[in-house]
Amino acid sequence: MPANDYLDALSMRQQVAIVVVVATVVAAVFVPVVYGTTSDPSDTVAVVEVEGTVNAALADDVEAELSEARNNDSVGAVVLKLDTSGGQPVASERMYKSVQRTSAEMPVIASVQDISASGGYYAMAPADEIYVLPTSTVGSIGLNAPAPASSPPVEGPSGPDKTGSNEIEQWAQQQTLADTFVDAMMEERGDEFEMPREEVAHADVYLGTEAVHNGFADEIGSLDEAVHEAADRAGMRNYEVDTRETGMDGDLPILIQTDDELVAVYSNDPGYAEVEPMPFAYVYEGAVPHIDTIERFAADDIESAAGDGDTAGSGAVNGDETDGTNETDEIEDRTDETDGETREDGETNDAPSLSGEVSP
Amino acid sequence: MNRAMTLAVAFVATFALILGGAAGIGYLTADGAETPPELENDHYLDEDLVHDGTPGEADVEMSSTAPPQTILIDPGAAADGGVAADPLALLGLGADGAADRDVRPLVNALIENGHEVRIHTPEPGAQPPGDDEPTALGADLAEADAFVTFRTEYADAEVEDIETFAENDGHVLLASDGDAEFDQPGAAALDAALGVTTEPGYVYNMEDHDLNYQRVYAEPDAESPVTDGVDRVVFQSATPVGTNFANAELRPSDGSQLSTTRASTEKPLLIHTGSVVMAGDSDFMSPENAQRVDNDVLIGNLADFLVENDRNAAQQPPESSGDEAPPGEPVPPEEFPEEEPPQG
């Protein structure tokens, strides 16, 4: 046989060398698979929702989701889907730190929907890029707090500051709180802001179209485009999108302005324990209704309920009192449709367009 | 071991070595094996971040040796629990006025120096007087040598009484602020009677301020009895004030801006025009603010201004007689000289 002749012509050492070369070539074919399996390559973009009032419950969830994303080897990038006008300072700081840590380990893109202001802006600032829609609202870097006022002496507490501090001390504390926020934003985006710190501290808000020019945002783009950018930065050619809901169900809590302070309400029919004063807040107040406004609409709601039974009120809440019935029906129809999709896919209303295998 | 076996072992060993190495490298470089990065947030540790909340101290002193005077104060609040005298306030539209403690540093200085302080508080529910009837304010002013008011909205007859009082050597200290521009309809009448002006909006300073951008510093425009010994004072949410006389006493520090224009402003926050001193802030005399920078010195100077008048309450009526000098041109007191009238 010619083959045997060739082998016979080679020494044993030469034959082994040839086998080693062949084994190396064959193994090389499998190396990517084996390496990929053991290194567990990331193929998922986690979309973490940051929506509604920034409070402890939302911070708990966002921290947990981002921690899971960091420790889940299949997650290669994170997109923050933001729609919030802010809330509690501490909750904002917690999310800021969590996003900061995540951003140090993988690409993080912030995608602003309607608004990400004040505490919401604080939370997303460490993201690699901020995507906004043309009419999104961002900014409001500052503190909401009433002017400190002296109060009559209260007898009984163990110390003079137990039931209220000195007026000047309160001013100092509030300014420290405000500067903590502004300084953090200057640290994160000082190179992007096209304005000095003094102007940032004005706490103005900007539409997306302006924000991409003054450095409060980086790109005009939708959530899909933010997801694509995140995947691209993570080097994913093919990827999946995993949407993570956070915070309380529904739109709760809601923020309400009173004449004296902001309050967070944790129920549509709140009891005493479901109204939380917020003496200090990182909130864009332009997005927070005054209690007088709510009472005015609630009065209409009550009147409708008295006349139409328990189905009335939706039209008034949506600001359409004249043809509220028809509009309400349409809204309910659309809700039914989306509910159907939700049940089918097990995703949120926004999720279907983001779910599944996506190729750039 | 035959040749075939030897070659097979070589193949398997090589194959396993390469794939095992790939697997090992893959495991070692997996994300989960990475050490979380240390985060440094030095901006939270900056020593300058924590603002000094030390309240400070106040020492309000008067230098005047004037004989005992009667100073009438209208705090803009009724006596029954601080309800604002302005009827609109009952609808939530009026300014809160000044509580007793808000004027205590001034009042105490006056009392300690032997002067009499009276508070004008209209009776709750009192009807406005008829055309020929004296007003309660006019009756109080008739017995006073100086007048301090935190109100800006008065009935026409009361405005006439105040104007007459100023024309007859009574010294007037008017303290207003930006809030009044938003919720009180009649401030312009009193301004016109006293020859002073205010502006909508407030002055703020984003860099040079006392713990808040609305707590601005104001500095003397020139040496004068009102600003003697004053380096800087703090005004809170102050509105610019003016007059047709060029006698600004205190102007905001560099970098201050006006809320309505977002532009730099040097417009005065306290002016002195003859018998009238007008401040664009009603909070600067409170106990807490009296302790900031030189507010206590300014309060002492204003107390001197109030008692250094040439008014003789027993002989000079509060009612207008029609032939007095216009406000701003009173008989010059010794330490608070008459301001020059405008040229042209």
Cβ contact (<8 Å) for B10 and A23?
yes
B47 secondary structure, DSSP code: G
pLDDT for the residue numbered A18: 87
Burial class for A92, CB neighbours closer than 10 Å (0-12, 13-18, 19+):
buried
Lowest-pLDDT range, A64-68, A151-155, A316-320, B177-181? A316-320
CA–CA min distance A206, chain B (Å): 17
CA–CA min distance A158, chain B (Å): 21
Among the listed residues A180, A189, A203, the one whose alpha carbon sits nearest the alpha carbon of residue A93: A180
Beta strands B248-252 and B215-220: pairing type? antiparallel
Cβ contact (<8 Å) for B19 and A31?
yes
Residue ranges of B 144-203 with Cβ closer than 8 A to chain A: none
Q: Is A29 left (phi over 0), alpha (psi -120 to 50) or beta?
A: alpha
C-alpha to C-alpha distance for B60 and A278, rounded to whole angstroms: 37
C-alpha to C-alpha distance for A60 and A342, rounded to whole angstroms: 24
Among the listed residues B87, B86, B112, the one whose alpha carbon sits nearest the alpha carbon of residue B97: B86
Q: Is A206 left (phi over 0), alpha (psi -120 to 50) or beta?
A: beta
pLDDT for the residue numbered A311: 45
- Measured between CB atoms, does B81 come within 8 Å of chain A? no
Asked if the bond preceding A253 is cis, omega within 30° of 0, the reply is: yes
Cβ contact (<8 Å) for A27 and B46?
no
For residue A264, the surrounding DSSP H or E stretch is strand A262-265
pLDDT for the residue numbered A4: 64
Q: What residues in chain B have per-residue pLDDT under 70?
A: 1, 26-37, 77-97, 124-132, 178-187, 245-246, 317, 319-344
- Measured between CB atoms, does B291 come within 8 Å of chain A? yes
For residue A207, the surrounding DSSP H or E stretch is strand A205-207
Nearest 5°: phi and psi at A124? -90, -10
C-alpha to C-alpha distance for B329 and B124, rounded to whole angstroms: 36
Cβ contact (<8 Å) for B30 and A30?
no
pLDDT for the residue numbered B105: 95
Q: What is the CB neighbour count within 10 angstroms for residue A174?
A: 22
Q: What is the mean pLDDT of chain A?
A: 82
Nearest 5°: phi and psi at A316? -65, -45
pLDDT for the residue numbered A355: 29
Tens of pLDDT, residues A169-221: 999 999 999 999 999 999 999 999 999 999 999 999 999 999 999 999 999 99
C-alpha to C-alpha distance for B29 and A14, rounded to whole angstroms: 36
Residue type, A276: E
pLDDT for the residue numbered A214: 98
Residue ranges of B 96-115 with Cβ closer than 8 A to chain A: 101
Dig out the tokens for B29 from the structure.
Answer: 């470089």
C-alpha to C-alpha distance for B308 and B32, rounded to whole angstroms: 81
Cβ contact (<8 Å) for B11 and A39?
no
pLDDT for the residue numbered A119: 97
pTM score above 0.80: no
Nearest 5°: phi and psi at B76? 75, 15
Q: How far is CA A43 from CA A34, A70, A173, A241, B249, in A?
A: 16, 13, 46, 9, 70
Q: How far is CA A336 from CA A166, A212, A331, A339, A341, in A?
A: 55, 37, 9, 5, 9
Residue type, A41: P
Residue type, B75: P
Q: CB within 8 A of B137, min separation 6: which ones?
A: B74, B120, B122, B154, B158, B161, B162
pLDDT for the residue numbered A28: 85
User: In this structure, are residues B228 and B251 in contact, taking their beta carbons and an 8 Å threshold?
Assistant: no
Cβ contact (<8 Å) for B10 and A20?
yes
pLDDT for the residue numbered A315: 37
pLDDT for the residue numbered B72: 96
Percent of chain A's residues with pLDDT above 70: 79
Q: What is the CB neighbour count within 10 angstroms for residue A96?
A: 23
pLDDT for the residue numbered A38: 63
Provide the β-strand partners of residue A265.
Answer: A254, A275
Q: What is the CB neighbour count within 10 angstroms for residue B151?
A: 29
Tens of pLDDT, residues A277-307: 888 899 998 888 888 888 887 776 656 656 6
Q: What is the CB neighbour count within 10 angstroms for residue A212?
A: 20
Dig out the tokens for A306 from the structure.
Answer: 């008295």
Q: Is A357 helix (H, G, I), strand (E, B) or coil?
A: strand
Burial class for A4, CB neighbours closer than 10 Å (0-12, 13-18, 19+):
exposed
Q: Which residue in chain B is spatially nearest to A147 when comparing CA positions?
A: B212
Percent of chain A's residues with pLDDT above 90: 52
Q: Is A177 left (phi over 0), alpha (psi -120 to 50) or beta?
A: alpha
Cβ contact (<8 Å) for B36 and A105?
yes
Is it the case that residue A149 has pLDDT exceeding 80? yes
With contacts defined as CB-CB under 8 Å, which chain B residues touch A170?
53
Q: Which of A32-41, A243-252, B290-299, B309-318 has the highest average model confidence (pLDDT)?
A: B290-299
CA–CA min distance B6, chain A (Å): 8
Cβ contact (<8 Å) for B14 and A198?
no
Between residues B172 and A322, which one has the greater pLDDT?
B172
C-alpha to C-alpha distance for A263 and A277, rounded to whole angstroms: 4
Which of B32, B41, B49 lies at the smallest CB-CB distance from A71? B32
Rounded to an integer, the average pLDDT of A306-313 is: 49
**What CATH topology corresponds to B69-307?**
Rossmann fold (3.40.50)
Q: CB within 8 A of B254, min separation 6: which ones?
A: B208
Band of residue A162 on the pLDDT scale cut at 50, 70, 90:
confident
Tens of pLDDT, residues A7-23: 677 788 888 888 888 88
Q: Is A340 helix (H, G, I), strand (E, B) or coil?
A: helix
Q: CB within 8 A of A144, min separation 6: which ones?
A: A118, A262, A278, A280, A281, A282, A283, A285
Beta strands A44-51 and A282-283: pairing type? unpaired
